[in-house]
């Protein structure tokens, strides 16, 4: 077995958080005086660190971006976190991987305090040895830093570890740590985005990932 340790992204990989995240962003923008009725326009916020997205997508200053993040967190813990759907086939995938003797971890840029709630809510806790996320102050929102921290804490062999995610940040973060990466096409990264990030493997559905998992 080549890949004994598997790092899973959360949003867009294990669960579909579209409604909760986009509504939370919509709420935060409204508090900043920006009205955005089309939730689909806010989909790019799914995956990357929030403060960076407010800066990149709306031109917020660093201070404005963090104000928006704080506003986002007024809505998200109460409502948005539960406006979420687990992708079909995920329990079966995780069950199969665990049955093969692999160790599973969550590696998400979402704050750990929220990631823990999502994992518990969807009854995924038993599948994972640990959940790693960022801190509320922005520490370890960079996926490369997060993965590095996880590898060190768990003392994982890089040659036996692989990252799975739906955005370029997951692939780039893995490669920064000299890990191979699996891109999943059912999340929120476009085909071009994922192709440009050069993952070692790409699967378009959960069932493909289940039947064709490498190593």
Domains 5-16+85-212 and 18-82 share a fold: no
CATH node for 5-16+85-212:
3.40.50.1000
pLDDT confidence of residue 83: 96
Q: Is 9 a catalytic residue?
A: yes
Closest by alpha carbon to 189, among 175, 172, 209, 210? 172
Query: CA angle, corner 83, sides to 15 and 129, nearest 5?
Result: 40
Task: Kindly give the parts of the chain with pLDDT less than 70.
Answer: none
Tell me the CA distances in angstroms from 187 to 44, 102, 183, 191, one per residue in order.
11, 23, 9, 10
pLDDT confidence of residue 7: 98
Catalytic residue of the set 9, 16, 142, 166: 9
For 18-82, the fitting CATH number among 3.40.50.150, 1.10.10.10, 1.10.260.40, 1.10.150.240 is 1.10.150.240
pLDDT confidence of residue 215: 86
Domain spans of the chain? 5-16+85-212, 18-82
Interval 57-97: pLDDT, tens = 999 999 999 999 999 999 999 999 999 999 999 999 999 99
User: pTM, whole model, 2 decimals?
Assistant: 0.93
């Amino acid at each position: 077995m080549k890949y004994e340790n598997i790092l899973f992204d959360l949003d867009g990989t294990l669960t579909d958080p579209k409604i909760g995240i986009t509504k939370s962003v919509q709420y935060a923008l409204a508090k900043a005086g920006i009205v955005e009725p089309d939730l689909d326009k806010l989909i790019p916020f799914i995956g990357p660190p929030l403060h960076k997205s407010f800066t990149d997508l709306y031109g917020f200053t660093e201070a404005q971006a963090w104000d928006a993040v704080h506003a986002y967190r007024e809505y998200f813990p109460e409502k948005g976190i539960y406006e979420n759907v687990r992708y079909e086939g995920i329990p079966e995938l995780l069950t199969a991987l665990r049955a093969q003797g692999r160790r599973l971890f969550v590696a998400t840029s979402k704050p750990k305090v929220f990631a823990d709630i999502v994992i518990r809510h969807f009854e995924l806790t038993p599948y994972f040895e640990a959940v790693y996320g960022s801190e509320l102050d922005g520490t370890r929102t960079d996926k490369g830093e997060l993965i590095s921290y996880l590898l060190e804490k768990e003392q994982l062999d890089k040659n036996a570890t692989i990252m799975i995610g739906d955005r370029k940040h997951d692939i780039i973060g893995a490669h920064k740590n000299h890990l191979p990466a699996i891109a999943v096409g059912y999340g929120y990264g476009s085909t071009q985005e994922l192709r440009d990030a050069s993952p070692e493997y790409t699967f378009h559905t959960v069932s493909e990932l289940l039947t064709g998992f490498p190593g």
